[in-house]
Chains A and B, each alone.
Chain A
Amino acid sequence: MSDTVATAPIESRIAVPKQIDPKTGLPRPNFLQDGGKGLKSWLFTLDHKRIAVLYLITISVAFFLGGIFALLIRLELFEPGKQFFNAEQYNKLFTLHGAIMIFLFIIPSIPAILGNFVLPLQIGAKDVAFPRLNLASWYIYVFGSLFAIASIIISAADTGWTFYTPYSSSSSSTAVIPMTIGVFILGFSSIFTGLNFIVTVHKLRTPGMTWFKMPLMIWGLYATAIIQVLATPVLGITVLLLILERAFGIGIFDPAMGGDPVLYQHFFWFYSHPAVYIMILPGMGIISELITAFSRRKIFGYTFIAFSSMAIALVSFLVWGHHMFVSGQSEIAVMIFSFLTFMVAIPSAIKVFNWTVTLYKGSIVFSVPMLYALSFLFLFTIGGLTGLMIGTLSVDVHLHDTYFIVAHFHYVMVGGTVMALMGGLFYWWPKIWGRMYNRTWALVGWILTFVGFNMTFFTQFILGARGMPRRYWTYLDQYQPLHGFSSVGSFILGIGFLISAIVLFVAVHHGRPAGSNPWGALTLEWTQTTSPPVEHNFDGEAVYEHGPYDYDKVIPKVSI
């Protein structure tokens, strides 16, 4: 089978830039060569595409670290009692896994890597609005990450990634302060990226690309950026208050000093619930791109998908209390939060139905990115539907803080966001590097990831419903078979990710040339520039000739 969308030769009505410059007869210089070759040319680059690559490298390191911690957790949980680590070490492991995966990996992942690379290209801009601020965000990300990683060397926090007070204000672990300073700094990276994207989308769209002619990926990133800018400061203030309390004994959350620990939970979730949508909205954007490109269909219900992103972004600010149904809130507060939680489920459902119907009468290609998109639909549907159970008050009382919650958010975050990220990487990889990966090995990686993921986490729905609390170093014997099965699955999942990473890495140097538009897609990054793109994205100004999904009007030429 071919690596690309091979079809019988057909006439193209749209001109795709030739990889070879007709004037010189040589391949066009691209951003990988044009900006210079040395390390300095990368560390001081202002090119959004190079900054995306910098993020790709650093965020991959974070994902690898977080993944290692995950596997160590599953090793320990294979059987009850001590396997490799004692309770204190285990508590540090799950804290590090959570904190690294959330703050260093999943929040920046899609916006900072793929958003940075794709957003200016898709709207026909030469770069983001503030290239220097963009580079600064990356440095701030690295700086914040160093604090978080330094905390591991000091002793590692054992508070859980949520840093709940008063445990975090009284815990003997000295690493709470560096870890939370890291989180505080990382927040600025996120805010700057969001700000940059908002301005870029408003000001730099190529002539002709009106709001409702933008690719849905842009809508997803735009909605995300709004949350990044509005919600992240609250997290910054919250961890700053926590640091003040620990360092100077100023009583805010710790009742021993006159504070209120539940206030911390309100502050924390006021950011961290919208943050869930920072993680998933850009992934939803990717899925809209993949499903249309590989079914050759105009997206079904464009405006509904676009507006549902905005609806999610707005309502997401009003549902934080559903993390606190048993924390002692008043009944009226709990009722309102439950109601709004069900309201936010509707726009997600709208998207899922629209994506599914987009497949109808399409011309569907089972490429690697498409398989990730279909897995997203499968897994995100489970993640979303189990959200209904924990949004239901009486049922959540039973399920709260059990493995059911752990399974639910892994289905949304890994089954949703990470599957979308993988699909996006396999989709845009030929554009970023100009080279195509090995399809067979990519499929092996995909199937192991999909099977391993379900083995690891579906088991945890059952564990949780049967009452297994989360963050337990040891557990009752009755839970062992399911825990053991989950641990086996986690290693299959880990191998799947490893194979995919190797496939992508090898392709960078050894893949065969991919051509400008290997998928025959219709968004500007495929139709108006080469692979890899030239330094300022387009020769001259990008021309808006047709909508992003006008497969009913234009036959894109598959160029190899």
Chain B
Amino acid sequence: MDTTATFWLPTAGSTVAHEVDSTFMFIVWMSTFFFLLIVGLMVFFAWRYRRRSGDEVKLDTGPTHSKLLEATWIGIPLVLVMIIFVWGFRGYMRMRVVPANALEIKVTGQQWFWSFSYPSGATTVNELVVPADQPIKLLMSSKDVIHSFYVPAFRIKQDVLPNRYTVAWFESKYPGSYQLFCAEYCGTNHSEMIGKVRVLPHAEYASWLEQSTAEVTGLSPVDYGRQLYKSKACITCHTVDGSPGNGPSFLGVFGKETDFADGSELVVDENYIRESILSPRAKVVAGFQPIMPTYQGVLTDKEIDGLIAFIKSLGGGSE
């Protein structure tokens, strides 16, 4: 099947996309027809019956009501909207009923990143990796405000709530990389709460999963930290070039005497960094908003060690 993007719609990457697209295009063409009919009649009547200069105002001679006409333009639209109502509902139910053989992945939304955890124990941030030709069930919840999991190419969207689980599912037959958005406004960095869904052929997925599940070894703590800095979304708010983002830059912070919003001051050390990752609002650097989410439960001790090593490597202005 053709999966390429059309004028209106993006790439059709999931098994439900084609049905959604045909419903959408049917309404587009139906709407085009009615738009041309109404605007065409309007322009035609307005021009045909325009008052020419010098015309006398004539007493009106046209019809003023017709039960038959009214019945026609009530009846025909009624039938048409019932058709699209049923069609839309059927498509919607296909999106709601999760196939029994679906692979379940836990999705967590929080300001402002997505994390995914696999049954094997592997976790990823802002990148959902899934096998092709396999239904995927997403069990989703939020750690703070409402988010919404939206993959345009799959035509799926589901709000992610802080007080209960919501579910979405999809199946893609087309390996590739698809854009993931947060669609429910969730605060300052809402527009950067984006990621990718990577669909891999089965064999590739299996080796990816094996690799991700195994402990990350062979990297120096600094390199591991640098990798986490990107993959765990620190990079969204903290630069490493000295320019302030939503949070302070990591460049040269280690060992620096820092002023906090509550008036206190402190030299940045390992314990301060650890506290800032796990309880970000305990000490907020002066001039910044207390908007960082907690990474409690998101990062392991080993990962925190790696991040501290990475930030230390940026200390004093030299990497």
- B208 part of interface (Cβ distance < 8 Å): no
- A261 part of interface (Cβ distance < 8 Å): yes
Decide: A261 near B59, CB < 8 A? Known: A360-B45, A374-B46, A467-B10: no
From residue B305, how far is it (CB to closest CB) to chain A in Å? 30
Pick the interface stretch among A32-40, A331-339, A489-497, A536-544: A331-339
Chain A contacts of B16 at CB under 8 A?
A: 394
* Cα(A113)–Cα(B286), bound, Å: 49
From residue A537, how far is it (CB to closest CB) to chain B in Å? 27
Q: Out of A172, A378, A396, A467, name the residue touching B42 (CB < 8 Å).
A: A378
A394 touches B164 (CB 8 A): no
Chain B contacts of A357 at CB under 8 A?
A: 41, 69
Q: Out of A160, A296, A334, A374, name the residue touching B92 (CB < 8 Å).
A: A334
A295 touches B49 (CB 8 A): yes
- B5 part of interface (Cβ distance < 8 Å): yes
| Interface 0/1 of A5-20, CB less than 8 Å to B | 0011010000000000
A360 touches B27 (CB 8 A): no
- Taking residues whose C-beta sits less than 8 angstroms from the other chain, chain B's interface range is 35 or more
Pick the interface stretch among B121-129, B142-150, B198-206, B264-272: B142-150
* Cα(A388)–Cα(B5), bound, Å: 22
Chain B contacts of A328 at CB under 8 A?
A: 158-159, 161, 164, 166
Decide: A8 near B62, CB < 8 A? Known: A471-B190, A472-B191: no
A400 touches B157 (CB 8 A): yes
A164 touches B85 (CB 8 A): no
A7 touches B56 (CB 8 A): yes
A88 touches B188 (CB 8 A): yes
A394 touches B88 (CB 8 A): yes
- A23 part of interface (Cβ distance < 8 Å): no
Give residues of chain B (110-137) contacting chain A, Cβ–Cβ below 8 Å: none
| Interface 0/1 of A395-420, CB less than 8 Å to B | 11110111000000000000000000
- A85 part of interface (Cβ distance < 8 Å): no
* Cα(A365)–Cα(B10), bound, Å: 44
B42 touches A395 (CB 8 A): no
Report the nearest A residue to B159, measured CB to CB.
A327
Q: Out of B85, B150, B162, B181, name the residue touching A342 (CB < 8 Å).
A: B85
- A229 part of interface (Cβ distance < 8 Å): no
B190 touches A359 (CB 8 A): no
- A315 part of interface (Cβ distance < 8 Å): no
A400 touches B92 (CB 8 A): no
| Interface 0/1 of B286-316, CB less than 8 Å to A | 0001110000000000000000000000000
Report the nearest B residue to A253, measured CB to CB.
B163
Q: Out of A7, A354, A462, name the residue touching B57 (CB < 8 Å).
A: A7
From residue B207, how far is it (CB to closest CB) to chain A in Å? 30
* Cα(A462)–Cα(B24), bound, Å: 13
Chain A contacts of B263 at CB under 8 A?
A: none
Give residues of chain B (67-100) contacting chain A, Cβ–Cβ below 8 Å: 69-70, 73-74, 77-78, 81-82, 84-85, 87-96
Chain B contacts of A170 at CB under 8 A?
A: 144-145
Q: Out of B166, B182, B183, B291, name the residue touching A172 (CB < 8 Å).
A: B291
Decide: A466 near B49, CB < 8 A? Known: A170-B144, A389-B28, A398-B157: no
Pick the interface stretch among B32-40, B214-222, B225-233, B248-256: B32-40
A167 touches B185 (CB 8 A): yes
A261 touches B20 (CB 8 A): no
From residue A294, how far is it (CB to closest CB) to chain B in Å? 9
Decide: A300 near B57, CB < 8 A? Known: A395-B88, A467-B181: no
Q: Out of A171, A338, A378, A388, name the residue touching B89 (CB < 8 Å).
A: A338
- A386 part of interface (Cβ distance < 8 Å): yes
Report the nearest B residue to A87, measured CB to CB.
B188
Chain A contacts of B78 at CB under 8 A?
A: 346
- A230 part of interface (Cβ distance < 8 Å): no
B188 touches A363 (CB 8 A): no
B70 touches A397 (CB 8 A): no
* Most-contacted residue by chain B among A170, A325, A328, A334 (CB, 10 A): A328
Chain A contacts of B184 at CB under 8 A?
A: 164, 401
Chain B contacts of A171 at CB under 8 A?
A: 187
Chain A contacts of B60 at CB under 8 A?
A: 296-298, 361-363, 551-552
Pick the interface stretch among A186-194, A206-214, A473-481: A473-481
Report the nearest B residue to A259, measured CB to CB.
B163
B57 touches A87 (CB 8 A): no
From residue B288, how far is it (CB to closest CB) to chain A in Å? 11
* Cα(A361)–Cα(B44), bound, Å: 11
A552 touches B31 (CB 8 A): no
Chain B contacts of A41 at CB under 8 A?
A: none
Decide: A475 near B88, CB < 8 A? Known: A262-B161, A359-B42: no
Chain A contacts of B55 at CB under 8 A?
A: 7-8, 363
A359 touches B31 (CB 8 A): no
- B213 part of interface (Cβ distance < 8 Å): no
A166 touches B145 (CB 8 A): yes
B162 touches A261 (CB 8 A): yes
From residue B165, how far is it (CB to closest CB) to chain A in Å? 9
Decide: A397 near B84, CB < 8 A? Known: A345-B77, A389-B27: no
From residue B171, how far is it (CB to closest CB) to chain A in Å? 16
Q: Out of A299, A366, A473, name the residue touching B64 (CB < 8 Å).
A: A299
* Cα(A304)–Cα(B58), bound, Å: 26
- A44 part of interface (Cβ distance < 8 Å): no
* Cα(A555)–Cα(B58), bound, Å: 8
- A116 part of interface (Cβ distance < 8 Å): no
From residue B265, how far is it (CB to closest CB) to chain A in Å? 23
A378 touches B39 (CB 8 A): yes
* Cα(A299)–Cα(B64), bound, Å: 6
B182 touches A469 (CB 8 A): yes
* Cα(A272)–Cα(B250), bound, Å: 45
* Cα(A475)–Cα(B191), bound, Å: 7
Q: Out of B5, B91, B186, name the residue touching A466 (CB < 8 Å).
A: B5
List the 4 closest pairs (A to B, CB-CB), nearest first: A467-B152, A394-B91, A361-B62, A392-B88
A-B contact pairs, 22 of them (CB 8 A): A87-B188, A88-B289, A261-B162, A296-B51, A327-B161, A328-B158, A331-B96, A342-B84, A352-B38, A361-B62, A366-B46, A388-B30, A393-B91, A394-B16, A394-B19, A395-B24, A401-B150, A465-B8, A467-B179, A473-B190, A476-B179, A552-B60
Given contacts A297-B62, A360-B62, 12 further A-B contacts (CB under 8 A): A166-B145, A167-B185, A170-B145, A304-B65, A365-B51, A381-B35, A392-B27, A394-B155, A397-B20, A398-B152, A462-B7, A466-B10
